[in-house]
């Protein structure tokens, strides 16, 4: 619980600080009631190809859709949703371990030996805030900074014993910086950053209605450090 409290406290603090700064910049730039300029690129629908092959959680892929919406001058909010599924690496491993080809089809070779006997599915949601400090740029383009929150959960279940399953949980809050290009209506963005992560796996026994075990996923040298690097493309309208 202590780890989760730190996570949400840090997330809320980042959102508040960036939002207050952007609002101050908005007020300073106010020059009276003049004829409004046409608004360009109020919304952008984006996709990412890399997660289809390797998602955030090992051996999964993500079908990810992102929507960015303009809130005010040089400010926007991003909403992201993903569907997690077994990626090509897991499919290849599952086919080999299932006993196909020369090895024959004789029975299961242990936990998770056959991909056909295991269900792997889940989803990811993320929400972010962006601020574009370049005053000469119009619309949602150019250099940007901001925080985002992400939560990803994958349910791994043995179909032959559906009462016992585990959920892999990835939660993180990050600060990013990047650049967004928009040529006519076509968009391309790159960004990276650092953040805080809380990754853990929970094993459930549904028959006993109890949590059997819970452990945190960490790399000792990095602990809760989260590295971000992403590229997206889309259409602005």
145 backbone dihedrals φ, ψ, rounded to 5°: -140, 160
Of the two residues 17 and 71, the one the predictor is more confident about is 71
Let me know: does 87 contact 60? Beta carbons within 8 Å: yes
pLDDT at 68 (0 to 100):
97
pLDDT at 20 (0 to 100):
65
Question: For residue 166, is pLDDT > 80?
Answer: yes
Q: What is the pLDDT of residues 176-218, one digit of tens each?
A: 999 999 998 999 999 999 999 999 888 887 665 555 555 565 5
52 backbone dihedrals φ, ψ, rounded to 5°: -60, -30
166-183: average pLDDT: 94
Question: For residue 223, is pLDDT > 60?
Answer: yes
CB-facing half-sphere around the CA of 125: CA atoms within 13 A: 0
83 backbone dihedrals φ, ψ, rounded to 5°: -110, 125
Looking at domain 2-22+41-236, its CATH architecture is: Beta Barrel (2.40)
pLDDT at 165 (0 to 100):
85
Sequence ranges of the domains in the chain: 2-22+41-236
Spatial distance between the Cα atoms of 76 and 230, rounded to a whole number of angstroms: 18
As given in the structure block, the two tokens for residue 88 are 């090509």
63-91: average pLDDT: 91
Q: What is the pLDDT of residues 24-56, one digit of tens each?
A: 655 555 445 554 454 567 899 999 999 999 999
CA 173 to chain centre: 10
Q: What is the pLDDT of residues 107-165, one digit of tens each?
A: 333 444 456 677 889 999 999 999 999 877 777 999 999 999 999 999 988 877 767 78
CA 16 to chain centre: 21
Of the two residues 210 and 85, the one the predictor is more confident about is 85
């Amino acid at each position: 619980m202590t780890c989760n409290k730190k996570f949400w406290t840090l997330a809320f603090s980042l959102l508040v600080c960036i939002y207050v700064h952007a609002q101050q910049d908005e007020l300073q730039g106010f020059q009276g009631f003049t004829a409004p300029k046409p608004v360009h690129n109020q919304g952008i629908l984006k996709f990412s190809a890399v997660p289809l092959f390797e998602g955030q959680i090992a051996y999964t892929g993500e079908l990810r859709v992102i929507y960015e919406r303009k809130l005010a001058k040089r400010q926007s909010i991003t909403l992201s949703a993903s569907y997690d599924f077994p990626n090509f690496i897991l499919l290849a491993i599952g086919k080999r371990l299932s006993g196909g080809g020369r090895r024959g089809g004789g029975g299961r070779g242990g936990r998770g030996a056959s991909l056909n006997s295991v269900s792997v599915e889940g989803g990811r949601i993320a929400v972010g805030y962006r601020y574009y400090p370049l005053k000469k740029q119009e619309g949602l383009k150019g250099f940007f900074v901001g925080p985002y929150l992400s939560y990803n959960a994958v349910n791994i279940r043995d179909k032959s014993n559906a009462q016992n399953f585990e959920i892999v949980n990835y939660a993180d809050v990050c600060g990013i910086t990047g650049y967004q290009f928009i040529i006519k209506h076509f968009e391309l963005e790159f960004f990276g950053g650092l953040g805080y992560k809380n990754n853990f796996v929970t094993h459930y026994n549904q028959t006993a209605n109890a949590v059997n075990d819970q452990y945190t996923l960490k790399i000792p040298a990095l602990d809760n450090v989260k590295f971000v690097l992403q590229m997206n493309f889309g259409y602005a309208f």
